Amino acid sequence: MQNLPLKLSISTHREAGYRAVEVEFCELHKYINFEGFYSACFFNKAYRKGENFIGGNTILILDFDEGLTIQNAQDIFKVHPYLITTTRNHQKWKDGKPPCDRFRLIFPLKEPIDLTGIEFTKLMTYIINVYGSDPKTCDAARFFYGVPDGKHLYNFEGELFDWRHWYNQIPPEPERKRYKKEFKPCDSYDIDKLKRECAQMKRFTEKQTELSYAEWLHGCGVIAFLPNGNELVHFYSCEDERYNEAETERNYQDVIGKGATRCSTFYPLNPLCHTCIYKGVLNSPYTLGTDSTSVLTESLPVTPEELERKINLKPNLLDSFHNRKVSFHSPVRRDITETLQDNSIQICSDIEEASEARFEHIKAVLESMPRLVAVGSTVV
């Protein structure tokens, strides 16, 4: 058992450069207690990402941050060979919680895992729920910090951990169609406007199968605060085969205590926020579904000076709008004529090539102002 061949991924970078290394079980701690990062999973192109998961795991890792002592773990898991290694915060204060045993339990497996990333997440979620380890470590792109000064201990006795036995015990998922029902519109919130105005939330509600875990997590952090938020989180999440009712409910309970996801949280996830018309104006996408007369007209400008400041235009750019062609940072140009006088707006636009972002930005701000008037046969 001590010489059992195993594999794991290691890297000196959190995201990239993960390479598989082979090691005998009795030497596994050398690749855990080091200055770097490791994972039980393997990834295409050596890039740690859920969709790059390729299976083949020969070890399974449970992370315990509280509730279970090392002595308890030794008694509970003595029927399996394992390696216990302490983490960086072992017997230290963490997030306001007092010192306690904080460690990882690493099991050599009876056979390599031959699941997809989604199936692997379901397996880990189930095992984690049974043993009460850290629920945040269930995904197929999970990594762990190496701990050079970590302590370790082995058990070489017992039967190898049979992941397939656990996978066969996972109960069938509930019928998704029970969440497929019409939600009555709520007078206090316009979800259609939220989807129309925010590209992130449009993607969340219409492209569930394409979302990364982070996109789903933070999207739930907006939807959760809507009327019927709990049902809506399940309603949209169950479109994806990765949907797990227990995990989704746990995520809902977690985000509801933190406040709606802020726009700045979405920025690094994808490029959708880069050209958002409300960037720097709103704190959270949630605001976009509230009553526009009470929110947008109060938060957006009604004078040329405020307009210039809010939409971050260059100095004197507003003056150049009058009967002139305006050149924007992106390769699009438009003819725009506007008159701002006594809170009445006249806009004339002739679209030539494409600067959708900047033009739509200006248009949206102006539309939110009072007494919008039509120019010719077109209302903009």
Dihedral sign for Cα atoms in the order 144, 147, 151, 156? positive
Q: Which of 32-36, 101-105, 248-252, 363-367 has the lowest mean pLDDT?
A: 363-367
**pLDDT at residue 334 is higher than 90:** no
pLDDT tens, residue by residue, 258-296: 888 999 899 888 888 887 878 877 888 888 877 543 334
pLDDT tens, residue by residue, 161-219: 999 999 999 987 655 544 444 444 444 567 888 888 899 999 998 888 888 888 999 99
The Cα–Cα gap between 51 and 258 comes to 28
The pLDDT value recorded for residue 234 is 87
**pLDDT at residue 350 is higher than 50:** no
What is the pLDDT confidence band of residue 253, given thresholds at 50, 70 and 90? confident
Q: Count the residues in the chain.
A: 380
The Cα–Cα gap between 18 and 14 comes to 9
Higher pLDDT, 378 or 187: 187
* H-run or E-run covering 41: none
Instruction: Identify the CA nearest to 368 among candidates 280, 305, 278.
Output: 278
What is the pLDDT confidence band of residue 316, given thresholds at 50, 70 and 90? very low
Q: Report CA-CA distances (Å) from 34 to 4, 65, 88, 146, 151.
A: 21, 20, 12, 5, 12
What is the pLDDT confidence band of residue 363, given thresholds at 50, 70 and 90? low
Task: Summarize the confidence of residues 76-104 as an average pLDDT.
Answer: 94
Work out whether strand 144-145 and strand 333-341 pair parallel, antiparallel, or are unpaired: unpaired
Instruction: Identify the CA nearest to 219 among candidates 263, 180, 186, 154.
Output: 263
The pLDDT value recorded for residue 252 is 86
One-letter amino acid of 41 = C
pLDDT tens, residue by residue, 10-39: 999 999 999 999 999 999 999 999 999 999
